[in-house]
Structure 1
């Protein structure tokens, strides 16, 4: 680990442990809240997928017809969550028109594979050489390189449908509506190539460092024709044609998993999130409680020190106001019984004893349970005596 990394780690640790760990406790509390929200979302999605029917494309229409008849009696919509397992095919292949002779599919430029979704990613890999006069003082950084990446992604889609798995008949199909979907897609990588770049290297880069590209990574991923996938979403009949669209409350839309695999995956995630929330919540409560108690005690100690400083300041001010006659030529019977230096000036109330000077009287009254030094009766107040 370089010196700069050590400084960064030290700064973050001091920041997390500041205020006796209050910052760390609040950070854990924030993570706990996010974990609980994610647990709520995942558990709700698990219930929906568990109760959602899993059907084939040919059985979907009968299910939607039954749902529509029930909903008509209840005056409600006919959208419902359904899991449909089918094979990917282009929509132009089932239109039944002249478009079937011109299939609307996407073709990979590099591999020639056909699909309905084509994603191309170009990643430019940069290398930064930290030279001798760079920001780090470690001389080994001249030979160390930190890689950075900059990528650009383009995504193309064409309308497609799901047909029955293993059937050649296109009479039954369901249209996949991709509008507004942000769910990950089960894409297949068909092209992957890293092309090295040999940039010119100068003497100035050796001394001052610099950033330059070292490689270009080209990738193409497609959703190929004939792939078996599961579509999870809101399904309904639109002009007599079954259509399925994504649901924001579900973590899946198009997936390679079956319903049972989705349930197992979500069940595992739910358990992990549940226990993670309990552990993180307990840690955050404990750390925040410890920080509150520690800072409360520190505040009380600071307040007590502040009061003592104010009392000392008051005594100093009183001492500065005491006449020299209170110290010099004082008979023994009129000396303060505490300091034995100054003249008795204050009378305690309610006992009425005139036994202390003004400074010692203030010290007695500043105690938690002030008592007269003679009769040990509780002192409520004092009155200073002036000689005319």
Structure 2
């Protein structure tokens, strides 16, 4: 059996320990997590549905007036959903309020495609092999630290201030500044360059291959951009800043900038909320059933264990009160081989097991068998509940 199979078997045994109690607890945790995500997703969906979706030219009137309700909304700030075209912001445009530089003025240029963009993200990833080596050793440090060693990645991020506009002339349509400070949401970047460069093998590479250690085989270069002129949807808190409008991320929202339209965002959130709702119900029901079964089985075992302890104390008490009926007195005299206890082979068979009914043990050995965690008859291996002392006439 391989190491992965042994790990899977160990995890399966741990999950089914105590009649599935650990598995039930794990499913309960998953159900609670699903419900927590469902509540947060439903809250975000409700806020997006209540948020206004004005045109950029009418955005100031919506922000300065209206009923500001909801978490993170105060006077002069409001959660809005707007859609516009990405354009870079230059110092002259901010000062004059007129788009005078032409489309793409002041933007970055992609090295891979030559396109103009406001955000350029370049990533280089070192890819390692998956071979274990000629010796077939299963121990590999690169496999243990896959994310830290297996894919060594360097990333460079460049951006210029940009805005969302409705048309080519800001003076006619208006604009809103996009604030990316502290942004933790994924950005709608487009991959424009993707190339794999093989790594030349060295003598040290051959040594690594023989020992089974991972060695680099290629470098993956990627470039992603947010191109000028791309239509995106912004879901965030809008406020007036130094005479102009600015939109920033709302931490409670699942996204900030997205290629999807508002209807698509709402439908995706509704589908996610439905999936989380039913998964929470199913996982919760299954976990309750498993935990109930585990409690019932272990409560029965605890009850049987208490009964065995009680019978043991009663037998000891009887032995102390009537020494003439002790085990040694009952077994005195000649005992044939067919009547000897199958466990100790010294005393006469006096105790029959319930429910199988086999009379094969002396009373002390019968008590020893009953004390086991999983008591079984020495003859038929059937699980026993108790033993009965048999007296000859």
Structure 1 and Structure 2 fold alike (TM over 0.5): yes
Give the alignment partner of residue 111 of structure 1, picking from 110, 113, 116: 113
Offset of residue 232 of structure 1: 0.7
Aligned to 2:302: 299
CA shift digits 1:315-363 (9 cap, x unpaired): 445565989xx99xxxxxxxxxxxxxxxxxxxxxxxxxxxxxxxxxxxx
Q: Which residues in structure 2 correspond to 1:195-344 (within 5 Å)?
A: 195-200=197-202, 205=208, 207-318=210-321
Alpha-carbon distance in 2 for matches of 1:228, 1:110: 22
Deviates most, 127-136 or 44-53: 127-136
Alpha-carbon distance in 2 for matches of 1:105, 1:305: 83
Q: SS at 1:186's partner residue?
A: coil
Offset of residue 229 of structure 1: 0.4
Alpha-carbon distance in 2 for matches of 1:257, 1:132: 50
Offset of residue 186 of structure 1: 0.4
Measured at CA, do residues 113 and 316 of structure 1 come closer, stay the same or move farther in structure 2, by a change above 3 Å?
A: farther
Offset of residue 285 of structure 1: 0.8
Aligned to 1:151: 153
Offset of residue 192 of structure 1: 0.5
Alpha-carbon distance in 2 for matches of 1:309, 1:11: 36
8 Å CA contact 1:186–1:223 kept in 2: the answer is yes
CA shift digits 1:174-198 (9 cap, x unpaired): 0011112211110011110111123
Alpha-carbon distance in 2 for matches of 1:34, 1:18: 23
The question of 1:179 aligning with 2:178 is answered no
Aligned to 2:377: none
Alpha-carbon distance in 2 for matches of 1:104, 1:19: 66
Q: SS at 2:181's partner residue?
A: coil
CA shift digits 1:82-120 (9 cap, x unpaired): 1111100111162247x9779543222333222111212
Aligned to 2:60: 61
Alpha-carbon distance in 2 for matches of 1:108, 1:303: 77
Q: SS at 2:65's partner residue?
A: helix
CA shift digits 1:354-388 (9 cap, x unpaired): xxxxxxxxxxxxxxxxxxxxxxxxxxxxxxxxxxx
Offset of residue 132 of structure 1: 4.8
Q: Which residues in structure 2 correspond to 1:47-126 (within 5 Å)?
A: 47-67=46-66, 77-92=75-90, 94-96=93-95, 103-126=105-128
Q: SS at 1:215's partner residue?
A: strand
Q: SS at 1:233's partner residue?
A: strand
Offset of residue 9 of structure 1: 0.9
Structure whose alpha-carbon radius of gyration is higher: 1
Q: Between Structure 1 and Structure 2, how many residues are aligned?
A: 308
Alpha-carbon distance in 2 for matches of 1:179, 1:113: 24
Measured at CA, do residues 85 and 206 of structure 1 come closer, stay the same or move farther in structure 2, by a change above 3 Å?
A: closer
Alpha-carbon distance in 2 for matches of 1:318, 1:199: 87
Aligned to 1:14: 13
The question of 1:169 aligning with 2:169 is answered yes
Give the structure-1-normalised TM-score. 0.72
Measured at CA, do residues 121 and 314 of structure 1 come closer, stay the same or move farther in structure 2, by a change above 3 Å?
A: farther
8 Å CA contact 1:67–1:78 kept in 2: the answer is no
Alpha-carbon distance in 2 for matches of 1:132, 1:13: 32
Give the structure-2-normalised TM-score. 0.71
Aligned to 1:32: 31
Offset of residue 150 of structure 1: 2.9
Measured at CA, do residues 127 and 321 of structure 1 come closer, stay the same or move farther in structure 2, by a change above 3 Å?
A: farther
Measured at CA, do residues 310 and 155 of structure 1 come closer, stay the same or move farther in structure 2, by a change above 3 Å?
A: farther
Task: List runs of 5+ in structure 2 lacking aligned partners.
Answer: 140-148, 331-393
Q: SS at 1:37's partner residue?
A: helix
CA shift digits 1:287-309 (9 cap, x unpaired): 11111111111111122222223
Aligned to 1:188: 190
Measured at CA, do residues 135 and 310 of structure 1 come closer, stay the same or move farther in structure 2, by a change above 3 Å?
A: farther
